[in-house]
Amino acid sequence: MVGPGGADAQDPPADSISSFNFRGNVVDFRTEGPIEGAIVQIAELGRSAETDANGYFEFRDLVPDRYTIITARFGYETNREPSDIPFGAIMVVRLNPVAIEVEGIGVQVERIVRQLAIRRSATPAASSAFASEQLKTTVDLDVVELVRERTSLDIVEDSFGLPVARFRSRLSRLRVCLDEVPVGSGFLQNLQPDQLGLVEVFESLRMVRMYTNDFLQRAAERGFQLQPINITTSRGC
């Protein structure tokens, strides 16, 4: 919900600066208590901020416009909200908690995989995903073959024999992440699909994200802070 920012929320004079510091608060939908460590992203700009101990976040020098605000925190449903952000606006985001089930680690791993699926849907880029069941039964020899055969991402080898993306007849580097950490593209050749619990492919970003079963289990046991995917850079995860 976007609200006015008090006296400072009046439209500025035409000859004054047009940007402002956009502030907001992330709270629990049920308790109205502040949520620390939530990641707030402006999808169109690829800018992210993290909430402090009081649930507050801030984006400096934001130009008033219509933006998609994505808010994510482990243990809560990811919120995606297109909003008109006027000069001086203050936003309150209420996240709905996800019930913690105690049926076992398998159920909790499924919850992590579901949170990753929510993040994919909240990322403004075409994507494909392959879950554990598909990875265990595929005949593809490595992740390169899996991606090449089953998605629109065109992977070829460069002069050093390493995987790169071919896009509009030009070669460009691949963004490859293993368990949320940037790695070299050679990992795509060295890992077999049945060694993984999930593979995500963001074709337009030329990005492949891989998750081992061990990582998903550790995330389920210890918690996993979901970070929005940066769509404005060609590096990192």
Scan for tokens 């368990």, then name that residue: 179
- Biggest alpha carbon distance in the chain? 64
The pLDDT tens digits of the residues spanning 70-119 come to: 888 877 888 888 999 999 999 999 998 875 544 465 667 888 888 898 88
By the 8 A CB rule, do 176 and 188 touch? Answer: yes
By the 8 A CB rule, do 36 and 42 touch? Answer: no
The pLDDT tens digits of the residues spanning 27-58 come to: 999 899 999 988 898 988 878 898 999 999 99
In the chain, CATH 2.170.130 sits at: 105-222
pLDDT at 106: 65
In the chain, CATH 2.60.40.1120 sits at: 2-95
Token pair belonging to 81: 């909200």
Q: Which 8-state DSSP code applies to residue 97? A: B
- Name the residue with higher pLDDT: 12 or 122: 122
Token pair belonging to 63: 């130009």
Architecture of domain 105-222: Beta Complex (2.170)
Long-range pairs of 163-170 with CB within 8 A, sequence gap ≥ 24: 163/188, 163/189, 165/206, 167/206
The pLDDT tens digits of the residues spanning 89-101 come to: 999 999 988 755 4
DSSP-based three-state secondary structure for 148: helix
Rounded to whole angstroms, the Cα distance separating 94 from 152 reads 37
The model's pTM is 0.58
By the 8 A CB rule, do 45 and 66 touch? Answer: no
Q: How many residues does the chain have?
A: 237
Scan for tokens 């390169």, then name that residue: 144
Q: Which 8-state DSSP code applies to residue 15? A: T
Say which CATH class 2-95 falls into: mainly beta
What DSSP line would sit under 24-87, residue for residue?
EEEEETTT--B-TT-EEEETTTTEEEE--TTSEEEEEEEPPEEEEEEEE-TTB--EEEEEEE-T
Residue in 47, 54, 95 with CA at minimum distance from that of residue 68: 47
Scan for tokens 């404005």, then name that residue: 232
Share of the chain above pLDDT 90, in %: 45
Residue 135: its H or E element: helix 132-137
The answer on pLDDT for 8 being more than 50 is no
